[in-house]
């Protein structure tokens, strides 16, 4: 090998000399072993004597060898990358889910390629195509409200895929929260405290989570013996500003609600903003609860009562399902439903009641 002179000696080096980009053959020559032995040490494909292994690793450090992932992907038809199509930028509530997916993928030796579909079906298909063109080994997708085109594309090209958060009947592996019974439990919680007009600020139309949370709202009304009032379901579009405007519409009703359930954390912020603008105190003038917890929810006064989704576990399970799918493409599809936690603070009108209760303790079987 040749050397290149640099102005400053690199860490661990001397005399101002530094190795150029090293190959596995260079490592083998330094260690006095075969290229195959170096490959076995680095990839764990065969047992190697401890002293030989130490020689190889010392040569790796000395030469600053980095495995050629491009060459490896050509040889194995794997790139050790996972595509993630998730609106983590336009929808901040996905941040914790993104971190969990990245951490779990990294622990398994995979790198994430992230694309934001922006909740737009046409752009969703575009970014998924781009991820496949980059030869990702598999995909984690939070599908839009109109996912037919992207799902047809994934099934046609047989790309291992796991759906996350929004669960639909598509014959794919998927993991997400329970939605129906937890929202029903929030309605019943308000009804038990004497509320008879309970409103729902619903999410983006067509999303599986929006549909299920609407169903949960109606279920809670039926269980509580309350009549459904169509004017009490308003669209917050899963966004803060749309939710703010929706709550103002609720407040303008001749018979406005006495309690509001917001379908996600962005809409909870929008609801709080509208109530503050209207000079209405929570919970004295309006009881409030939301779906999704967030780091500063306990800092509000009053603290926000919410159903907290298990984002860390959701991300972990999504990657585990994807790795299993890549290992066994013909296995039957798996659906995982994870229960959220009822975080009982005092925006619902129950002062001094902070506690986190698994929904398994408050929901009927």
Report the topology of domain 78-176+311-338: Rossmann fold (3.40.50)
- Least confident range of 12-21, 300-309, 344-353: 12-21
Q: Which helix H or strand E contains 181, and what residues bound it?
A: helix 180-192
Mean predicted confidence (pLDDT) in 94-112: 91
Query: How far is it, in rounded angstroms, from Cα 171 to Cα 148?
Result: 12
Question: Is the distance from CB of 110 to CB of 104 less than 8 angstroms?
Answer: no
pLDDT digits (tens, 9 = 90+) for 144-163: 989 999 999 999 999 999 99
Residue 9 confidence class, pLDDT cut points 50, 70, 90: very low
User: Hey, CA dihedral for 307, 348, 193, 216, is it positive or negative?
Assistant: negative
What pLDDT score does 47 carry? 84
230: pLDDT strictly greater than 90 = yes
The answer to whether domain 4-67 has CATH 2.160.10.10 is no
pLDDT, one tens digit per residue, over 268-318 is 999 999 999 999 999 999 999 999 887 766 666 788 899 999 999 999 999
> Mean pLDDT across the stretch 157-180?
95
pLDDT higher than 90, residue 356:
no
Can you tell me the distance from the alpha carbon of 201 to that of 250, in angstroms, rounded to the nearest whole number?
Answer: 9
Q: Which has the closest alpha carbon to 287: 253, 252, 242, 250?
A: 250
Mean pLDDT within 2-24: 46
| pLDDT band at 10; cut points 50, 70, 90 | very low
Residue that wins the pLDDT comparison between 343 and 70: 343
Per DSSP, the residues of 210-279 read HHHHHHHHHHHHHHTT----GGGEEE-TTSHHHHHHHHHHHHTSTT--SEEEESSHHHHHHHHHHHHHTT
How much of the chain exceeds pLDDT 70, in percent? 84
Residue bearing the bigger pLDDT, 319 or 35: 319
Q: Mean pLDDT for the chain? A: 86
* The CATH classification of domain 180-310+341-361, taken from the options 3.40.50.300, 3.40.718.10, 3.30.70.260, 3.40.50.2300: 3.40.50.2300
319/162 Cα distance (integer angstroms) = 8
User: To 10 degrees, the CA torsion angle through 311, 313, 315, 317?
Assistant: -150
For a pLDDT cut of 90, what percent of the chain falls above it?
65
Mean pLDDT score, 198-204: 97
The span from the CA of 351 to the CA of 26, in Å, is: 69
pLDDT computed for residue 2 by the predictor: 31
Check residue 19 and give its pLDDT: 44
Residue 126 reports pLDDT greater than 60: yes
Question: Which residues are within 8 A (CB) of 43 and not within 5 positions of it... i.e. 6 or more apart?
Answer: none
Boundaries of CATH 3.40.50.2300 in the chain?
78-176+311-338, 180-310+341-361
- Nearest Cα residue to 169 out of 120, 139, 219, 208: 208
Over its C-alpha atoms, the chain yields an Rg (Å, rounded) of 26
139-158: b or e for each residue (b if 16 or more CB lie within 10 Å)?
A: bbbbbbbebeebbeebeeee
Contacts of 80 (CB under 8 A, 6+ apart): 69, 72, 73, 109, 110, 111, 137
Please state, in angstroms and as integers, the Cα–Cα distance from residue 293 to each residue in 48, 54, 264, following that order: 50, 48, 9
The per-residue pLDDT for range 34-76, each reduced to its tens digit, is: 888 888 887 777 788 889 989 988 888 888 877 665 555 545 4
SS3 for 157? helix
User: How far is Cα of residue 24 from the mean position of the Cα atoms in its chain?
Assistant: 38
| pLDDT the model gives residue 20 | 60
Q: What is the pTM of this model?
A: 0.76
pLDDT value, residue 351: 66
Statement: residue 14 has pLDDT above 50? no
pLDDT at 296: 63
CA gap 226, 211 in Å, rounded: 20
pLDDT at 24 over 90: no
């Amino acid at each position: 090998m040749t050397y290149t002179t640099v102005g400053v000696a690199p860490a661990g080096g001397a005399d101002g000399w530094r190795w150029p980009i090293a190959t596995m053959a260079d490592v083998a020559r330094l260690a006095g072993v075969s290229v195959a032995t170096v490959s076995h040490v680095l990839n764990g494909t065969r047992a190697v004597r401890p002293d030989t292994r130490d020689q190889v690793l010392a040569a790796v450090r000395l030469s600053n060898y980095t495995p050629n992932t491009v060459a490896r992907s050509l040889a194995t038809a794997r790139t050790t990358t996972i595509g993630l199509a998730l609106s983590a930028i336009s929808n901040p509530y996905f941040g914790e889910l993104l971190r969990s997916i990245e951490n779990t993928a990294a622990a398994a030796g995979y790198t994430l390629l992230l694309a934001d579909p922006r909740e737009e079906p046409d752009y969703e298909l575009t970014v998924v195509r781009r991820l496949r063109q980059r030869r990702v080994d598999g995909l984690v997708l939070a599908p839009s409200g109109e996912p037919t085109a992207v799902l047809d594309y994934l099934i046609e090209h047989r790309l291992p895929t796991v759906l996350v958060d929004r669960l639909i009947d598509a014959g794919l592996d998927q993991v997400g929260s329970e939605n129906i019974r937890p929202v029903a439990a929030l309605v019943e919680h308000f009804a038990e405290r004497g509320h008879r007009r309970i409103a729902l600020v619903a999410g983006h139309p067509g999303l599986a989570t929006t549909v299920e949370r609407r169903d949960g709202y109606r279920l809670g009304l039926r269980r509580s013996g309350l009549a459904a009032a169509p004017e009490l379901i308003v669209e917050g579009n899963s966004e803060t500003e749309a939710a703010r405007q929706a709550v103002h519409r609720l407040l303008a009703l001749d018979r406005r609600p006495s309690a509001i359930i917001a379908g996600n954390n962005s809409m909870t912020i929008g609801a709080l903003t509208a109530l503050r603008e209207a000079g209405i105190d929570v919970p004295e003038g309006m009881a409030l609860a939301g779906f999704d917890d967030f780091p500063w929810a306990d800092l509000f006064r009053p603290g926000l009562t919410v159903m907290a989704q298990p984002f860390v576990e959701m991300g972990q399970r999504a990657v585990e399902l994807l790795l299993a799918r890549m290992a066994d493409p013909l296995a039957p599809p798996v659906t995982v439903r994870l229960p959220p936690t009822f975080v009982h603070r005092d925006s619902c009108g129950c002062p001094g009641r902070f506690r986190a209760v698994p929904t398994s303790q408050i929901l009927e079987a």
